[in-house]
Amino acid sequence: MRESIIHWLSSNGLPGELVVLIVSTLPIFELRGGIPVGLLLGLEWWRTYIMAVLGNLIPVVPILLLLEPVSYWMRRHLKATDQFFEWLFSRTRRKTEAGIRKYGIFFGLTLFVAIPLPVTGAWTGCVAAFLFGVKFKYSFPAIILGVLTASLVVSMATYGTATVIRLFG
C-alpha cells in the first residue's frame, strides 16, 4: 500500500519535494516515511530534510488545538468511537508515562517524539500532550524539537546507509 501511495503521488506530476511533504504529514508514515521517499526520488538530503520537517509539523497545531474538543464530541455522540479513543489514549499513556516522569514534561515529550520508532512521533506526541494536560505553549516547542531531532537521525541513517552502499556496494 505504501508503495502505491508513493507511486501515485510521484506519477501524477507532483514534484518530489511535494511528495515528501505529503507523505510526512500522514500518521504512521510521518518523516520516517517521507525521508526514505526523498532518497528514492533522488532528492538532495537537505531538500528532503526541510520538506519532511515541514510536512511532519503541518498537522501538529490542528491536532494540539482540536483533539480535546473533537474527541469529547465524538465520544459523547458516536459511541463506536469511544472504544477506539479508550484504546488509543490508554496505549499512548502507557508508552509515554515513564519518559515524562523520568525527564519531565518538556524533555520527556521531546524525547518521545524524537525516537524514530513506529508509533512515536509528532502525531502520538500530540495525543500524549493532550492526555497529560500539557499546555500548547510547552507541547508545541517540545514536539518541534523532537521532530527536528528525529529527522536528523532518520536522514543520517537513510542517506548515510545509501552512501555507504554506493561506496562499498
**pLDDT score at 6:** 67
Place of cell 514536539: 143
Q: What does the alpha-carbon distance between residue 55 and residue 30 come to, in Å, rounded to a whole number? A: 8
Residue 3 pLDDT grade (very low, low, confident, very high; cuts 50, 70, 90)? low
What pLDDT score was predicted for residue 37? 95
**pLDDT computed for residue 92 by the predictor:** 79
Mean pLDDT of 137-147: 97
pLDDT tens-digit map of 96-140: 777 777 778 899 999 999 999 888 899 999 999 998 889 999 999
Q: Is residue 105 within 8 Å of 132, Cβ to Cβ?
A: yes
The DSSP string of 56-109 is: HHTTHHHHHHHHHHHHHHHHHH-HHHHHHHHHHHHHHHHHHHHHHHHHHHHHHH
Question: Stretch 65-85: mean pLDDT, rounded?
Answer: 84
Q: Summarize the confidence of residues 77-87 as an average pLDDT.
A: 79
Per-residue pLDDT reduced to its tens digit, 9-64:
777 788 999 999 999 999 989 999 999 999 999 999 999 999 999 999 999 999 99
The rounded distance, in Å, linking the Cα atoms of 46 and 78 is: 44
Place of cell 528525529: 150
- Identify which has the larger pLDDT, 46 or 75: 46
User: Is residue 143 scored above 80 in pLDDT?
Assistant: yes
The whole-model pTM stands at 0.84
Whether the pLDDT of residue 5 is over 70: the answer is no
The three grid cell numbers given for residue 114, joined into one nine-digit string:
524524537
Using CA atoms, how far apart are residues 48 and 37, in angstroms rounded to an integer? 8
